[in-house]
Structure 1
């Protein structure tokens, strides 16, 4: 599928574009053989298209897998841009804690749900997909609470009618080692004593 517009990130924030279907090739549509994408600390953008042009023809699903390394958490999944030709749609997403995802039985997912574009007070797209998944699963599944910890995960997006262009940000956050917080606090106390 051809991607017509580049992902525009609100407020000029620099983010790593980890996958763009226009430059990197079509994301897999097979839950048993997802595209592997390497995520790094901070923002990781995935930009693609899904659905079918004009609501006819085969549906294009996008499925990718990623690994959260030890010492990191996935703290956010946010829709950055969403372009539907004939108005708002409800798209489907699912996540599983494996290197594949069952595209036929949603009860086997970690979580799933429907999503569409929402805008913030400045006219920027901001849909908190992590909150939707955290509140789910909408169609059966295990569910989860809070950020996702180290391990392998597979993410699937699907639109049932029109062709949708999207950009999704996955936010990876390092978790400080227990001793490092204590050391920072101690350093702060020493600095305050020296000022006196």
Structure 2
């Protein structure tokens, strides 16, 4: 492999996953996400950031609660390595938002023990006022309502994700990060490429 090829490969790998990435689903543009566990909206996920933007809960606590449910596939050779909030309008009442994930093309919304994992989240802000809540870490830490749980990144397969707020209408944008599985020896190759770049700079 030439020096130029190594530099090009490294440049691609270090680009932020969210760079110039359009929303995969925006309820204002693409329509309402399903609120039925047995018939979730299918959203195509690709490598890098996959952004889902919508609303959940109910306006002023009046009317039926709006759940958002979607299904996606992690292709062979990839992992789901991150789920995090890109934006979130926290409820004024202090109620937490609920999420659940299941390793199927549907999700049972009446029996949390059948979920892969589930949990509650609240808004967290970094020093610049940006939302950064790591939803993957919350789910990975263990199911809050009796699901089976999981350990580490989520491998290839079909999954369904459900978000719900208890009363108020919440606006959110969630980022799902899909990462290719490193090929054997790729870590060594990247290390050698990095050393080569350092030597060229001196």
> TM-score w.r.t. structure 1 length?
0.85
Deviations 1:103-139 (A, max 9, x none): 0000000000011110011110110000000012000
Q: 1:144 corresponds to which residue?
A: 150
Change (3 A) 1:183 1:32: same
**Match for residue 107 of structure 1 among 89, 110, 113:** 113
Root-mean-square deviation (CA), in Å?
Answer: 2.3
Q: Please list, as runs of the form range in 1=range in 2, the aligned pairs for 1:1-196 lying within 5 A after superposition.
A: 13-84=19-90, 86=92, 88-184=94-190
* Alpha carbons of structure 1 residues 193 and 114: separation in structure 2 relative to 1, 3 Å: closer
How many residues get paired? Answer: 184
Gaps of 5+ in 2: 1-17
Question: Contact conserved, 1:79 with 1:167, CA < 8 A, in 2?
Answer: yes
> Deviations for 1:135-187, whole angstroms, at most 9, x for unmatched residues?
12000011001110111100000011000000000011111221444555666
> Alpha carbons of 1:82 and 1:189: their partners in 2 closer, same or farther (altered >3 Å)?
closer
Question: Are 1:84 and 1:162, in contact at CA under 8 Å, matched by a contact in 2?
Answer: no
Between the aligned partners of 2:130 and 2:48, the Cα distance in structure 1 is 20
Unaligned runs of 5+ in 1: 1-11
